[in-house]
Amino acid sequence: MNPARQIRRSVLWLVPTFAVSALGQQPTSHDVQPIATTLCEIVAHPEKFANKRVMFKASFESDGLEHSILNHSGCKVGIIPYPAADGEKRPDVEALDKAIEAGAPGTTDKSVAAIFTGRFLWKPPSKRILEIEGVSELRISPLKNSPGKPKQ
């Protein structure tokens, strides 16, 4: 086959391939601004926030073994935190992990609160998950009467 014909043939394959990939490309989750809301609003109306990027204040509670939840006072239920695919590589998410691992397991000896950003997943009737993409304003404070601490 002559070289000009090979080039023409390659171009005929490449143009449709690039067109299809460009047209079919969806914006990534990080390209969409998160909806600023409250945890209570999300759990009260999960259908409104399903598969959307959200941002809210919450406490992170964990037994240090296998159960963790994002919670806020006044809310009837919480949201299960789950790291997003690239979340564990982010310094802010790593800081949350380190805070939870420090001292006693989980949050039995400390209070952990932050603003969490991520994609909210809802599987009716009751499974609520936040794929954590970011953590800001992380606050860790010791609990007064935590296990292993003398009561005052």
The domains of the chain are located at 29-142
CATH number assigned to the domain covering 29-142: 2.40.50.140
Q: What span, in angstroms and rounded, lies between the C-alpha atoms of 32 and 57?
A: 19
Q: What is the pLDDT of residue 64?
A: 85
Q: Residue 42 corresponds to which tokens in the numbers above?
A: 């999300």
What are the start-end ranges of the E strands in the chain?
A: 35-36, 52-62, 68-71, 80-83, 110-123, 127-142
Q: What is the pLDDT of residue 16?
A: 40
Q: What is the pLDDT of residue 34?
A: 97
Sort residue 74 into left (φ over 0), alpha (ψ -120 to 50) or beta. left
Q: What span, in angstroms and rounded, lies between the C-alpha atoms of 34 and 50?
A: 12
Q: What is the mean pLDDT of each run of 10 residues along the chain (152 residues)?
A: 49 40 45 93 96 97 91 94 79 90 89 96 91 95 68 41
Q: What is the pLDDT of residue 117?
A: 97
